[in-house]
Amino acid sequence: MINSTQVSYFILAAYFDTRVFKYFSFLIIMSLYVLIICSNLLLIVVICTNRSLHEPMYVFLCSLFVNELWGSTGLFPFLMVQILSDIHTVSRYFCFLQIFSVHSYANNQFFTLTVMSFDRYLAICDPLHYNTRMTFHRVSVLIAVIWLYPFIAILLIVALSSSLQLCGNVINKVYCDNYSIVKLACSDTNIINIYGLIATFFTVFGLVVSIIYTYVRILQVCFSGSKQTRQRAVSTCTPHLTSLLNFSFGSLFEIVQSRFNMNGVHPMLRIFLSLYFLTCQPLFNPVMYGLKMSKIRIACKRLMLCSVVKKESG
């Protein structure tokens, strides 16, 4: 029996020899990472430097973009190193660090999207009391919960997983995830399974019920309100709802390919399904919110225009 203290590294078995396409794959991954960093940083700067965007909705958006930088940094540099390497191994300590990064990113994303749906619910269904309910103090508390709860919850999961006795060190993925570690365990996993079920139930069930409730109420207002109210609701909710659906489908893809036998599926498709929610969301959100939200679009144009004018004058 191999216990957890003797497993010093893990083998990532999902990689396969790309040969002449190795450097091409590296360039694609690097380009995606640079695009994610630049687009998310641009919108963070735009929101932070424009006083007209210092509103709860844009503060939550800023938190969303920061989280996407956090999750992407936990994945993309690691992928680039692994693509160029001939031996696809990762140390035990870095593996658990990546688990913490990836899982906390996913939880943070879900919490932020839920809080944003609540914010839109107040703005559309109770606009007269929006400013008194969504105060600076409440926004600060929500931001703290968005970041602290996922970090603490995932830290506990990592602590429980790292104490398991393992009977192997082969992970059939291109990055480390907690479920893959638990599957390698040859010791009792009841505690981590029970904790995972309880945390998942209260987190996912609570957030899903909250999102469904807010959008049911928003739809009721849309159907009973004026044409102007419907247009306002559509313009503010479309980016958020699209982002929420994209993340939900991506998470579903990851759950299905992790927990069911996917040996009959092409390896490239399995890799794509496992990486979808980690790559497409950070790429998708800046474009979606940048194009659909007029205030952000105008602020981006002003920032670009100012930089061009400064260059010409210099």
Query: 90 - beta bridge partners?
Result: 10
Q: Domains of the chain by range and CATH?
A: 9-313 (1.20.1070.10)
Specify whether the CB–CB gap between 7 and 169 falls below 8 A: yes
| 120-129: average pLDDT | 86
Specify whether the CB–CB gap between 309 and 138 falls below 8 A: no
Confidence of residue 3 (pLDDT cuts 50, 70, 90): very low
Token reading at 19 = 């040969």
pLDDT of residue 248: 85
State pLDDT tens for residues 36-70. 999 999 899 888 888 888 899 999 999 999 999 99
State pLDDT tens for residues 67-124. 999 999 999 999 999 988 888 899 999 999 999 999 999 999 999 999 999 998 888 8
Q: Is the pLDDT of residue 281 over 80?
A: yes
Specify whether the CB–CB gap between 63 and 285 falls below 8 A: no
Q: Is the pTM of this model over 0.85?
A: yes
Q: Is the pLDDT of residue 234 over 70?
A: yes
| 130-142: average pLDDT | 92
State pLDDT tens for residues 197-232. 888 787 778 888 888 888 888 888 777 767 776 777
CA pair distance 60, 143, nearest whole angstrom:
7
pLDDT of residue 21: 78
